[in-house]
Amino acid sequence: MKTVGVAILGLGVVGSGTYTILRDHREFYRRTQDIDLSVECVLEINKQKALALGIEENRICGDIAEVISNPAVDIVVEVIGGVEPARSFVLAALHSGKTVVTSNKELFCKHWHELEAAARRTNAGLYFEASCVGGVPIIRTLIDGMQANVIHSLTGIINGTTNYILTRMAREGAGYAEVLKDAQALGYAEANPSADVDGYDAAYKLSILSSLAFHTKVPLENVYREGISHIALQDIAYGDELGYVLKLLAIGKFDGHKCIEARVHPAFVRKDHPLAAVNDSFNAVYLQGDSVGDIMLYGRGAGALPTGSAIVSDVIYAATHGEAKYSGFKNTEHAEAGIRFVTDFKSRYYVRFTAKDRAGVLAKVAGILAKYNISIAELVQKDGSSESVPIILVTHETTELSVRAAVEKIAALDTVEQVDSVIRVEG
């Protein structure tokens, strides 16, 4: 039986979960995978945290040099998070010829090209299943399950924190600030929640997933990003009346040649769309391949054991596959020459504005929309005060820049007090 030595860098939530799985399932992997996965050492500043997990003191390292100089370590698992010192530690491991498994989406998104170049130089493995969508095996599906397809689109709910917040707002009618506070108390959101609620986390993941799906580098700089902090409870309620559910979506589209869309933003989806039923902290990715058609993967997008599951899956894969496999595209810092990233993308749009209760307002608004070739699919005027009323309209499919220009003109009308919200409608 083959023995494979593992080192874990960091014993936070995910690192502790990974160690627990490796410890508790060791005999199971011996029996089912014919390998003995031995945690040879951990890198953890807080020694008491390691000891509390039952890790022997002589296996607790204080610096990366101890880890990479240990001849018994074959695979290094990085679960520190952030860019530094994780980047330096991973590069040190790869330069020493050790295979690396990481869950670090920010590091991988920003430095994938650099890490892969280092891995290629020493023929080391580089695995990152846990970087996107927690325990859902989306990376392996894209690499090893969808090779027969040209993937034309992926649409995902890939951030559990924002999905939890939007689910609670819709289900209970609770305000954004209140639910965010609860999410922080439950550990779903950090004290500084910007990475989640401003869409950065989802943008990192979309950069990685769309690069794999479309077989060309989709850098973070080419991912449009918009968060949920501006979302009003009224819009969730009005959307519900119109048959929609609001989600933070990550959307990638590919024409099969040179044009790519990559965008993260709140969007309404119809209640009968599969993604509409993905609630709380769960994640899902909806893929469309030219041969297989539609596929959706669903599961827990975060947490100690779900993410640990993805990490250990990579560890087992690396231990049982002798030859390292790298990205099948030109993996550089920026996109390949000739790739065009679409910024004037197409969608339907939900627009809510507050207008003075006077005759002719809708005629003026309709005139502006017509000037930009925007047609109205639905229009609702809600009850308001004696002086002003909220008006909601949903457009047929149109272009982003046309809507922006039209909204600017609508906001300038003397009969319109303000444009309250503009939300894309997908699916």
Distance between CA atoms of residues 352 and 360, nearest Å:
17
Are the C-beta atoms of 160 and 134 separated by less than 8 Å? Answer: yes
Say which DSSP state 302 is in.
Answer: S
Distance between CA atoms of residues 175 and 264, nearest Å:
22
Known catalytic membership, residue 110: no
The pair phi, psi for residue 320, each rounded to 5°, is -105, 0
Say which DSSP state 256 is in.
Answer: S
* C-alpha to C-alpha distances, 304 to 14, 45, 51, 237, nearest whole angstrom: 4, 19, 18, 34
Are the C-beta atoms of 358 and 381 separated by less than 8 Å? Answer: no
Distance between CA atoms of residues 188 and 180, nearest Å:
9
Are the C-beta atoms of 341 and 261 separated by less than 8 Å? Answer: yes
Of 205, 217, 247, 253, the catalytic one is 205
Exposed/middle/buried for residue 280 (C-beta within 10 Å: 0-12, 13-18, 19+): middle
Query: Angle at the Cα of 132 (from 130 to 135), degrees rounded to 5?
Result: 55
Query: Angle at the Cα of 393 (from 387 to 397), degrees rounded to 5?
Result: 160
Query: Angle at the Cα of 130 (from 36 to 105), degrees rounded to 5?
Result: 135
Distance between CA atoms of residues 183 and 228, nearest Å:
14
Give every CB contact of residue 403 below 8 A, 6+ residues apart in sequence.
Answer: 349, 351, 372, 374, 395, 422
Exposed/middle/buried for residue 417 (C-beta within 10 Å: 0-12, 13-18, 19+): middle
What positions carry a catalytic annotation?
Answer: 205
